[in-house]
Structure 1
Amino acid sequence: MVVELEFQQKTKALIDSLKSICANYGLGNDGNEFKIITQTFLYKFLNDKFAYEAKKINPTLASAESWEAVLAAMSENDLEMMQLQMGGDTARLKPQHFISHLFSQQNTADFAKLFDDTLLDIAISNNDVFAVKTDGGAKVVLFERLSQYIADDSKRDAFCRAIINKLVDFSFERIFTQKFDFYATIFEYLIKDYNSNSGGKYAEYFTPHAVARIMAEILVPRTTRSNVRNVSVYDPSAGSGTLLMNVAHAIGENRCSIYTQDISQKSSSLLRLNLILNNLVHSIPNVVQGNTISHPYHKDGSALKRFDYIVSNPPFKLDFSDFRDELDSKENKQRFFAGIPKVKPKATDKMEIYQLFLQHIIHSLKPGGKAAVVVPTGFITAQSGIDKGIRQYLVEHKMLAGVVSMPSNIFATTGTNVSILFMDAGNKDKVVLIDASSLGEKIKDGKNQRTVLTPAEEQRIVDTFNTKEDVEDFSVAVSYEEIEAKNYSLSAGQYFDVKIEYVDITQAEFTEKMQGFTSNLESLFGQSRKLEVEIKKQFAGLKYE
């Protein structure tokens, strides 16, 4: 724990230093600042991970005053043999790739070119393992020429020197055996400044950890985890991969393969970094940048690939009118079984794209597979249209696990109330509906207000769901027939019993109460009769003038 806290602080300090460097060279809050910081951080991580693995294999390196010098003196054959013994999640580096080598060369002419060339050579050497591909087949490599973002050529060498001087200060080596919450903390801190200002441009990549943890704990209960292996986990709108990371950690990184698609290039780069930080390098070839709705990439032959687990926090509103018509085709009839949202009359009105993602997810689920999807709470009660059609399909095919209606403002970046829809193609029994809307504590998050669940509240939701427990005014387990009778509503409140309280009293107490009620009524009736007489008297006195 002490090591973890120490390196959290050192890492945050490194990220802050890199932001300061960018600001000093005119890139503060610039769109390219994010690329520079994430790629620099990745270079540091790959360098130190290589050192950690090399020292485990060769004890001589571990005891050397300068492990880089000892490694540089090794023959090409010895170096190749050592790298073959390293795990697949360790980048293949040469002595000239090390941070220490660039640090020693920082006063040479054209240092920016040497710095950029080094990163590009690492990218080329590791392209087969670490490159993300687009749905068109192009590969997005690990690194770009970072100095290109400095407009003034004369300042590029100094900019790269400033970066390499920050990277040499400490090593990550001691934390590679730590638990993954450490990496989650780093990652959240890394993107927090790009996730502000009412959503900001990186809001789409960020799902609250409470939501991600609840989804993972329900999809993969602790009591059954030891039986889960060799499974596929898919997110068709992956963002930075927060949901995927939580499910992968619940299953075990070496017992699952991640598959993703996301239209955003920034998102795919973030996700790649997250996979590398979380020992999921083997899944990088399955990370695809592209439009899941119009051009789903992952297939088995001509059919969509089916997955064991699917998680998603899809966009709720998006104008996709530019490619809507191409979705309305014969091959998409089965995938979009409940329909395709119509183009709104006003150009400013956005379309319910989550309805397409939901249908795509249902169609991509294996028999017996499980899914968890964040939806607007309005979806669970809509009485007509595509929303109701999807719910009806889930009930008729008996592939629901339940719904958790979350507190308002669980996402700081949106005022939309959300629920988590859980699907289970193997559940033919009771469906769990939970109303967690009253839980959580309101806190300020920048300019926004956010609701934060306590660990105990998270656990209460998870335990209640997994045990299918009925809790007054909180949860209910209902049959598919009951849901059909309620017009396919998935709102827990509509199934709660109306409680009538009964109090045990004696015969004498009952008689006394009844006499009291009778006396009160007679008094009220008497007053009423007097009022009637008075009203008639007043009316009789009215005259026309």
Structure 2
Amino acid sequence: MVELEFQQKARALIDSLKSICANYGLGNDGNEFKIITQAFLYKFLNDKFAYEAKRIKPILVAEASLGDALAKMPKNELEMLQRRMGGDTARLKPQHFISYLYNRQATADFAKLFDDTLLDIAISNNDVFAVKTDGGTKVVLFDRLSQYIADESKRDDFCRAIINKLVDFSFERIFTQKFDFYATLFEYLIKDYNSNSGGKYAEYFTPHAVARIMAEILVPQATRSDVRNVSVYDPSAGSGTLLMNVAHAIGENRCSIYTQDISQKSSSLLRLNLILNNLVHSIPNVIQGNTVLHPYHRDGKDLKKFDYIVSNPPFKLDFSDFRDALDSKENKPRFFAGIPKVKPKATDKMEIYQLFLQHIIYSLKPDGKAAVVVPTGFITAQSGIDKGIRQYLVEHKMLAGVVSMPSNIFATTGTNVSILFIDASNKDKVVLIDASNLGEKIKDGKNQKTVLIQEEEQRIIDTFNAKQAVEDFSVAVSYKDIEGKNYSLSAGQYFDVKIEYVDITPEQFAEKVQKFTSSLNSLFGQSRELEVEIKKQLAGLKHE
């Protein structure tokens, strides 16, 4: 009940912030998502600090204004209080609290006070909360939000409107709850801002069904108590849906997240996701940059190897501007199956997922596991880089299996997708599942998508983890079987061909043969008549 009530109020807050942006001319503006996500984050950091302060010093619970109570506290006592807080709690000063700003709305240049407060929080917490670029520049928590209002005379009122919405909302009741339910809230928060906008680097929100299936197969329930102190990597992280699911499966305090993504927007959203999901300790590992061209995470000079890797990489992208830079001696081991060629037409995009997939294989530890979303065409291609990658996985015996998903599982793309599971320790059977007939088709705005119900998700997970062979659904095959099928990873190619047998009497058999014979005789007769007619028509042709 607490969870449902909180989600309703949180969504109402998000809608209110969107309404404020619209009222000040920023509806559907490119900066709207920055304002909403940063205001949302500001409130979260306030409430997390308040929750921790009251937990450590219960006397603060009775205080009407926590900010005022902290302002009266001796400096050394306040410092001691902050040191006792966890590393995922931002360090705040009394004047950073929303209540402090709320009580000073009559101040001249309120927008400046508001912006200065956010920037001071960002500077005070830069070491923990800043995202880095691959060049080493730190991207701080907050911007000057009022700068996005072109009319300077309206900036004070804009900032007051935000503060008035934030002051009536609280996260504190749910900090004792498991963080999993933030997933749906986070999706609601960013649903309008993390879609394919037609730009060069299209961003897609990975459906939670896909993310859950990947996590439950990578980290099965039966093995979770043994998993600890592991690294989880996504080289095309987006807003982090896949990572959050794997982290929850392992335990947030048992893993460290490592990411890279070329999009500044996605990196900012990922940071917010990590904060909401109790994974602040991994923020220093969030890198904004080009993974394919400049992979960031290293152990010394060598690329870092990871225990778990998840990814939903972009499938096709024109990377002709840096394609030749990839074709170097240094990159040969990483791109072992080759680098896609530049397309003859400038409008044709290149198969960049092939590079991400090879990078993932190269970045796995010897006993590591990975789950990657790929276009379904990858699993059956008869030649080229796709086949080369599959052949490599088979020859090195590092396949766990493939799940072919229903069409339109992603509402934003019509490409059929499969999930490729890699397991360097699996030397036995490989599981291939055809889940293409599962799910219910529903409308999602202008698009149609397929949604799996929970029982269908669980069926896929249980069948895969048990390595079960289920008629017309799954097979468990050997590496030799796969080699014999030209390295195809399509379950359908391994299903038994069924021949229906029906018992009939000799009389019934004779009757059927007679009908077939009569039918053939009729067709042969028509053929002879047609032959005569064609010859007659040809004989009548004259040259004029």
TM-score bracket for the superposition, by shorter chain length: over 0.9
Residue type of the alignment partner of 1:224: T
Aligned to 1:108: 107
Q: What is the match of residue 323 of structure 1?
A: 322
Q: Which runs of 5+ in 1 are unaligned?
A: none
- Counterpart of 2:120 in structure 1 is 121
Deviations 1:18-68 (A, max 9, x none): 111111111110001110001110000000000001000001001233333
The equivalent of 1:24 in structure 2 is 23
In the alignment, is the contact (CA less than 8 A) between 1:232 and 1:257 conserved in 2?
yes
Shift of 1:178: 2.0
Distance 1:141 1:364 in 2: 29
Structure 2 partner of 1:259: 258
Partner AA of 1:380 in structure 2: I
Aligned partners of 1:203 and 1:413 also within 8 Å? no
Distance (Å, rounded) in 1 between the aligned partners of 2:443 and 2:137: 42
TM-score normalized by the length of structure 1: 0.94
Equivalent AA in structure 2 for residue 64 of structure 1: E
* Structure 1 residues 85 and 489: alpha-carbon distance in aligned structure 2, compared to 1, 3 A threshold: same
Matching of residues 170-185 of structure 1 within 5 Å: 170-185=169-184
Task: Specify the alignment match of 2:246 in structure 1.
Answer: 247
Go from structure 1 to structure 2 and tell me whether the alpha carbon gap of 1:424 and 1:513 turns closer, same or farther (over 3 Å shift): same
In percent, how many aligned pairs have the same letter?
83
Which residue matches 2:474?
Answer: 475
**Matched residues in 1 for 2:463 and 2:531: separation?**
64
SS in 1 for 2:323: helix
Counterparts of 1:360-439 in structure 2, within 5 Å, are 360-439=359-438
Question: Deviation at 1:202?
Answer: 9.3
For 1:35 and 1:531, locate their aligned partners in 2 and report how far apart those are by CA, in whole Å: 74
For residues 56 and 376 of structure 1, do their structure 2 counterparts lie closer, same or farther at Cα, with a shift above 3 Å needed? same
- Shift in Å, 1:511: 3.5
Describe the superposition over 1:98-133 as per-residue Cα deviations: whole angstroms up to 9, x where unpaired. Answer: 000000111101111110010000001100100000
**1:459 CA displacement:** 0.6
User: Over residues 349-401 of structure 1, what are the superposed CA-to-partner deviations in whole Å (9 max), with x where a residue is unaligned?
Assistant: 11000000000000000011000000011100111110000000000000000
Give the structure 1 partner of residue 498 of structure 2.
499
Q: Contact (CA 8 Å) 2:180, 2:277: kept in 1 or not? A: no
Matched residue type, 1:513: Q
Q: For 1:434 and 1:523, locate their aligned partners in 2 and report how far apart those are by CA, in whole Å.
A: 45
Matched, 1:458 2:457: yes
Contact 1:48 1:172 in 2 (8 A): yes
User: Unpaired runs of 5+ in structure 2?
Assistant: none
Alpha-carbon distance in 1 for matches of 2:530, 2:461: 64
Q: Once the 2 structures are TM-superposed, how far is the Cα of residue 501 of structure 1 from its aligned partner?
A: 3.0
Partner of 1:85: 84
Residues 521/118 of structure 1: CA separation in 2 closer, same or farther (3 Å cut): closer
CA-atom RMSD, angstroms? 2.4
| Worse overlay, 195-204 or 216-225 | 195-204
Partners in 1 of 2:521 and 2:263 — Cα distance? 77
In the alignment, the residues of structure 1 paired with residue 22 and residue 30 of structure 2 have an alpha-carbon distance, to the nearest angstrom, of 12
Q: Distance in 1 between matches of 2:434 and 2:74?
A: 65
Tell me if structure 1 keeps the 8 A contact 2:433–2:475: yes
Could you tell me how far 1:502 is from its partner in structure 2? 3.7
Contact 2:230/2:307, CA 8 A, preserved across alignment: yes
From the superposition, tell whether residues 471 and 155 of structure 1 become closer, same or farther in structure 2 (CA, over 3 Å). same
Match of 1:513 in 2: 508
Summarize the Cα distance change of 1:533–1:408 in structure 2 as closer, same or farther, 3 Å threshold. closer
- Contact kept in structure 2, 1:131 and 1:284, CA below 8 Å: yes
Q: Quick check: 1:47 aligned with 2:46?
A: yes
* Shift, 1:154, TM fit: 1.0
Q: Which runs of 4+ in 1 moved over 3 A?
A: 195-203, 509-539
Distance in 2 separating the partners of 1:433 and 1:56:
50
Deviates more, 1:512-521 or 1:183-192: 512-521
The answer on whether the counterparts of 2:259 and 2:287 sit within 8 Å (CA) in structure 1 is yes
Q: Distance in 1 between matches of 2:529 and 2:337?
A: 66
Q: Secondary structure at the match of 2:20?
A: helix
Of 520-529 and 250-259, the range deviating more from structure 2: 520-529
**Shift of residue 204, structure 1, vs aligned partner:** 1.0
How far did 1:177 drift? 1.8
Asked whether the equivalents of residues 372 and 420 of structure 2 are also in contact (C-alpha less than 8 Å), the reply is: yes
Query: 2 CA distance for matches of 1:45 and 1:290?
Result: 27
Could you tell me whether the CA contact under 8 Å between 1:440 and 1:457 is conserved in 2?
yes
Residue by residue over 1:178-228, the C-alpha shift from the partner in whole angstroms, topping out at 9 and shown as x without a partner, is 233321111111111224677789961511111100000100011111111
Contact 2:98 2:166 in 1 (8 A): yes
Task: Output the CA distance in 2 between the equivalents of 1:528 and 1:135.
Answer: 73
Contact 1:196 1:446 in 2 (8 A): no
Structure 1 residue 495, shift from structure 2 partner: 0.5
Rounded to whole Å, the distance in 1 between the matches of 2:242 and 2:527 is 70
Q: Structure 2 CA distance, aligned partners of 1:534 and 1:501?
A: 37
Stretch moving more, 123-132 or 518-527: 518-527
Larger deviation, residues 246-255 vs 195-204: 195-204
